[in-house]
Amino acid sequence: MSKKVAVLIDGGHTRVLAKSAGYTYNPDYIEKIAKACIAADEEPLRFLYYDCAPYVGNAVLPVSGSQKQFNGSDVWLKELAAKDLFAIRLGVLKFRGFIPKQIPVGAGALTDNHFKPSFEQKGVDMRIGLDIATYSANRSVERLILLSGDTDCIPAMKHARISGLQVALVSFPNRAASQEMLGHSDIERHMAWPAQ
């Protein structure tokens, strides 16, 4: 008999790994990754995807003082939300200013090109934790499959295991899972990147 599972995908974490492995990160590929996490003896209840919509707003460039406008689009998130069994959980992307592209900054006169914008995700790990707690309470799944490297998830992982759920932590080729997180999971699921 197959186990009911929920797959929880930390989008920021998975995006960085997929891009560094040379894959184009888009809704179709995210769906392939999610489905590749499911073992033969498992049946997905839901794929939960956690991320932030791209930043939209204005900022003052650090050297010239000119205005820079950020016009990110969330169309891809809506496309992903329309896929079967997918639910999107959105945090907020905060603009934290400009930081040097390299240190030391470089010789000669500084320009805006020496800097890049810095953004911080807020609320994503909390949403992952809330969903883990909900599944732990309602027992609609037997196993949680987690794609994340965020150790802030550990208290929720502990809670799930105490509640009787199994937690599988996904690792990818050439990228080991967090040892600290593995200590609070039941299974390390080694996964190959799906073909694109």
pLDDT in tens for each of the 196 residues of the chain?
899 999 999 999 999 999 999 999 999 999 999 999 999 999 999 999 999 999 999 999 999 999 999 998 999 999 999 999 999 999 999 999 999 998 888 778 889 999 999 999 899 999 999 999 999 999 999 999 999 999 999 999 999 999 999 999 999 987 778 888 999 999 999 999 999 8
Structure tokens at 24: 């184009």
Element (DSSP H or E) covering residue 70: strand 67-71
Rounded Cα–Cα distance for residues 113 and 62 (Å): 10
- DSSP-assigned letter for residue 75: H
Domains of the chain as residue ranges with CATH: 3-54+73-92+122-190 (3.40.50.1010)
Q: How far from each other are the two terminal CA atoms of the chain, in whole angstroms?
A: 31
pTM for this entry: 0.90
